Amino acid sequence: MKRFMSNMLSLFLACLGFALIAGGLMGFKLGTDQHRAIITYGFLVGNWCMLACAVLFPFAADTEYRKIKRRLLLLLSLLCILYFIYFGVMWTLLGETGMKISVTVLFILLGIAVLFVTIVDYFMGKEAYRPMATEFLSQLPYAYYRYRT
């Protein structure tokens, strides 16, 4: 059951990530009303889903990983709120082109972040992969510097 729920969450996050990227890619072609619609659905609904996941899904994880899983989901939820505030403020300030650029860039970035969290969650959620995934993530910030060597 735990494994099933964990896989369902990964599937949900992956779908959300791809949907956000797709929304971003289409962003340049959409009109103002459509922008408002995808912003509302993308962030407000996305945020509620994320909060619901943060409450429900950590129970599908083992004790060691439960806290991390909740924090990851709350972090994504917070990101959604920040995006929503940004667009709320910019709604009236940005012209149509500005909005198009904002939607395209920010949706794609958020989509990538969600996909990254999906991958991290998928591997960290499995006990056998956790030491390797932790090691990998702890060294990830040095990737650029190591490439320079």
7 makes contact with other proteins (CB under 8 A): no
142 makes contact with other proteins (CB under 8 A): yes
116 makes contact with other proteins (CB under 8 A): no
Which residues touch 74 (CB under 8 Å, ≥6 apart)? 50, 51, 54
Smallest distance from other proteins to CB 130, Å: 8
* 83 contacts 47 by C-beta, under 8 angstroms: no
DSSP secondary structure, 104-134, as one string: HHHHHHHHHHHHHHHHHHHHHTSTTTHHHHH
How many residues bind other proteins (CB under 8 A)? The answer is: 16
Nearer to other proteins, 95 or 131 (CB): 131
64 makes contact with other proteins (CB under 8 A): no
148 makes contact with other proteins (CB under 8 A): yes
Distance of CA 104 to CAs 27, 36, 123, Å?
Answer: 5, 13, 29
135 makes contact with other proteins (CB under 8 A): yes
Smallest distance from other proteins to CB 18, Å: 21
Q: Per CB under 8 A, which region of 55-63, 85-93, 100-108, 132-140 contacts other proteins?
A: 132-140
**Coil, strand or helix: which one is 94?**
coil
Distance of CA 115 to CAs 37, 45, 79, Å?
Answer: 22, 18, 14
Residue of the chain from 1, 29, 97, 128 that contacts other proteins (CB under 8 A): 128
Kind and range of the H or E run holding 143: helix 143-148
Nearer to other proteins, 40 or 139 (CB): 139
